[in-house]
């Protein structure tokens, strides 16, 4: 008898075991406290902070914002870091 892999969810979709790291959470906090940050930056920053220390998953709506931020040449390095972080925390990768 084969043991089930502990990270496999029902239906074969991988579970979400990713969490926001402390350095990324700090960047997210800085983005949220900066009035000049864009709406997209604040959206991904809020999601990253909400997932710090938890196994919460990124919503489809935030994942879309994050994907667009990664594709947008105007996005800052920090925004792209936060976007990458929240995308790694999306269920059903």
* Rounded Cα gap, residues 46 and 43, in angstroms: 5
Copy the structure tokens of residue 12.
């074969």
* Rounded Cα gap, residues 70 and 16, in angstroms: 21
Closest CA to 48 of 38, 62, 37: 62
41-71 pLDDT, tens digit each:
999 999 999 999 888 899 999 999 999 999 9
For the chain, what's the residue count?
A: 93
Copy the structure tokens of residue 41.
């930056």
- Cut 0.85: pTM above it: no
80-92 pLDDT, tens digit each:
999 999 999 998 7
């Amino acid at each position: 008898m084969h043991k089930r892999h502990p990270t496999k969810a029902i239906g074969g979709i991988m579970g979400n075991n990713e969490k926001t790291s402390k350095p990324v959470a700090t960047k997210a906090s800085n983005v949220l406290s900066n009035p000049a940050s864009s709406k997209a930056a604040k959206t991904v920053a809020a999601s990253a902070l909400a997932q710090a220390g938890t196994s919460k998953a990124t919503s489809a709506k935030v994942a879309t914002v994050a994907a667009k931020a990664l594709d947008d040449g105007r996005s800052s390095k920090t925004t792209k870091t936060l976007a990458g972080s929240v995308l790694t925390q999306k269920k059903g990768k």
